Amino acid sequence: MTDETLKKTLATRNDLRSMGIKVSNVTLLRWEARGRFPRRIRPGGTTVAWFMSEIQAWLSERDQERARTHYAEY
């Protein structure tokens, strides 16, 4: 996908689950309120979605965070 296409693509809850983001809706709402996860949009009715580009950026940040984390050796 090109960057422009990725910016316009929406991710649903099922898409998040398929990417490994398997947390409850309450947890997502809490993370969004605290600025720890991209904010959702409402394309219509009760449907919610997230911009795929923002989700990919969030996942990239988690990957960088993992690289900086030092785990104790046992």
Model pLDDT for residues 20-68, shown as the tens digit of each residue: 999 999 999 999 999 999 999 999 999 999 999 999 999 999 988 887 7
Q: Is residue 25 part of a domain?
A: yes
Nearest to 23 by CA among 71, 61, 55: 55
Is the predicted pLDDT of residue 10 greater than 70, yes or no? yes
Answer yes or no: is 48 within a domain: yes
Domains held by the chain: number: 1
56: containing domain: 3-68
- The residues that bridge with 44 in the sheet, in sequence order, are 47
* pTM of the model as a whole: 0.80
The predicted pLDDT at position 12 comes to: 96
Residue 41 inside a domain? The answer is: yes
The whole-angstrom separation of Cα 31 and Cα 43 is 20
Q: Is residue 73 part of a domain?
A: no
Residue 74 lies in a domain: no
pLDDT of residue 73 exceeding 80 = no
Q: Would you put residue 35 in left (φ > 0), alpha (ψ -120 to 50) or beta?
A: left
